[in-house]
Amino acid sequence: MPHCKHILAVLFALACVAADAADPVVERAMEIAQGRWRAIRSSENGKTIAFRNNRGPVYTVVGDRIQWTIKLEYESTLSATFKLDPTKTPTEIDWYFPTPEDPTYIVKGIYSLKGDTVTMCFGQDGGPRPREFSVKKDGNLLVVLKREPQKP
């Protein structure tokens, strides 16, 4: 199910748990991650899905948790935690998404934040972290999110 991977990736990319809460670089990255983000595009195995007219899933980040609702054949709300490491090159993100089969399930990825747009690339489920923003390798998932404007 490619949409599940998309959700896992976005979930991981936006839900942060600081590696070292005393590190001001990590703290600043966590501050920036807070809020609502909408998926605008995802790519996997050479196929790209562009979410038009604000139809992409919305991810809400509060603290080190992320929550989102997907609507496919059914509606499902998911949540996870994540950790950012902005001191690495490329910058790293780990999503902690416990499943009944594996309560320590982690998806490893990289991210790039430019303005109000974050691009994330995740490796195959449980696989190694990608080193570049590419979906040429089978199983990698690339997701682009745009920050939602704050409501007054």
Task: Tell whether the model's pLDDT for residue 46 goes beyond 90.
Answer: no
* 85-93 contact pairs (CB < 8 A, 24+): 85/19, 85/26, 86/25, 86/26, 86/28, 86/29, 87/23, 87/25, 87/26, 90/131, 90/132, 90/133, 91/29, 92/129, 93/12, 93/13, 93/16, 93/120
- Mean predicted lDDT score pLDDT of the chain: 81
In whole angstroms, how far apart are CA 83 and each of 20, 97, 137? 10, 12, 24
* Most distant CA pair in the chain, distance: 43
Rounded Cα–Cα distance for residues 99 and 97 (Å): 6
- 90 or 70, which is more confident: 90
pTM as predicted:
0.79
Q: Which of 36-45, 109-118, 131-140 has the lowest mean pLDDT?
A: 131-140
- Exposed e or buried b for every residue in 16-38, given b needs 16+ CB within 10 A? bbbbeeeeeebeebbebbebbbb
Q: Which of 12-16, 88-92, 148-152 has the lowest mean pLDDT?
A: 12-16
pLDDT of residue 78: 82
**Domain 2-147 is found in CATH 2.40.128.280:** yes
Task: Tell whether the model's pLDDT for residue 90 goes beyond 90.
Answer: yes
β partners of residue 47? 44
